[in-house]
């Protein structure tokens, strides 16, 4: 575990020490690599690349929209709007009209069945109580 936590300077010294033994056939020089330097370089590159994009995005969005994006509730509202606007497949007018007729017809049919059951149970109750 201690070997994994070597700093860049320790890694370079290790490589130099191995390189000084260079006459042996089993040892070969390995260029020193520092994972910290690589990460820092990547971070700097990503910051440089992303800064202009963020500035342009900030200029094009209104202050209300940026406030909503930071706010949890506002973010939810914006994501819901985006989903309803761009991801939902809305039915055509004809499909919506046909589905409305089906809902009305099924509601009427269920209403008739429930009305008949209510009437039958009421008559049964009156027959049992003799009123």
Highest mean pLDDT among 17-26, 44-53, 116-125: 116-125
Which of residues 121 and 60 earns the better pLDDT score? 121
Q: What is the pLDDT of residue 14?
A: 55
User: Is 8:32 a contact under the CB 8 Å cutoff?
Assistant: yes
Domain boundary assignment for the chain = 35-88, 90-131
Q: What is the pLDDT of residues 56-106, one digit of tens each?
A: 554 555 787 777 778 888 888 888 999 999 999 999 999 999 999 999 999
Q: What is the pLDDT of residue 70?
A: 82
d(CA 29, CA 17): 9
Q: What is the pLDDT of residues 23-62, one digit of tens each?
A: 555 555 555 555 555 666 666 666 565 555 555 554 555 7
Distances (CA, A) of 41 to 32, 35, 47, 48: 16, 10, 10, 11
- Confidence band for 110, pLDDT divided at 50, 70 and 90: very high
Instruction: Phi first, then psi: give them for residue 93, nearest 5 degrees.
Output: -60, -40
Sign of torsion over alpha carbons 46, 52, 54, 57: negative
d(CA 118, CA 124): 10
């Amino acid at each position: 575990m201690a070997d994994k936590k070597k700093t860049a300077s320790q890694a370079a010294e290790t490589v130099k020490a191995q390189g000084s033994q260079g006459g042996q056939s089993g040892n070969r020089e390995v260029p020193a690599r520092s994972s910290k330097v690589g990460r820092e370089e990547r971070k700097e590159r990503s910051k440089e690349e992303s800064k202009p994009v963020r500035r342009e995005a900030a200029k094009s969005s209104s202050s209300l929209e940026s406030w909503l994006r930071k706010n949890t509730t506002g973010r939810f509202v914006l994501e819901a709007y985006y989903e309803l606007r761009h991801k939902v497949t809305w039915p055509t007018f004809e499909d919506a009209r046909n589905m409305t007729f089906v809902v009305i017809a099924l509601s009427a049919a269920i209403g008739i069945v429930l009305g008949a059951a209510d009437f039958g149970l009421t008559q049964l109750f009156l027959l049992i109580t003799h009123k």
